[in-house]
Structure 1
Amino acid sequence: MPWKSKGVKAEAADAAGARLARQATVEVAGVLGKRDMSRTDLARLMDVSPGRVSQILSGDENLTLRSLAAVAEALDLDVRISFVEPKTGRQDEVALRPDSSDAFVYTH
Structure 2
Amino acid sequence: MPFLTRGEDSAELPASRLARQAATSLAGLLAARGLSRSELAKLMGVSPGRVSQMMSGDANLTVRSLASVAAALDACVEIRFFDLPQPPTGCQVGSGASSHLADEVTSPL
Both proteins in one fold, TM over 0.5? yes
Could you say which structure has the greater relative contact order, defined with CA pairs below 8 angstroms and 6 or more residues apart?
Answer: 1
Equivalent pairs counted in the alignment come to 81
Aligned-pair distance for 1:86? Answer: 2.1
Q: Secondary structure at the match of 1:78?
A: coil
1:43 alignment counterpart: 41
2:55 alignment counterpart: 57
2:66 alignment counterpart: 68
Q: Secondary structure at the match of 2:57?
A: coil
Give the TM-score of the pair, scaled to structure 1: 0.67
Deviations 1:61-92 (Å, cap 9, x if unpaired)? 51111111111110001111111222458xxx
For structure 2, the 5+ residue unaligned runs are 1-5, 88-109
| Letter aligned with residue 20 of structure 1 | L
1:82 alignment counterpart: 80
CA contact (8 A) 2:19 2:59 kept: yes
For structure 1, the 5+ residue unaligned runs are 1-5, 90-108
Going by fraction, where is strand more abundant, 1 or 2?
1
- Given the superposition, is the C-alpha separation of residues 32 and 24 from structure 1 closer, same or farther in structure 2, using an over 3 Å criterion? same
Sequence identity (%): 53
Going by fraction, where is helix more abundant, 1 or 2?
2
Query: Out of 26, 40, 43, which is 1:28 matched to?
Result: 26
Give the TM-score of the pair, scaled to structure 2: 0.67
Higher Cα Rg: structure 1 or 2?
2
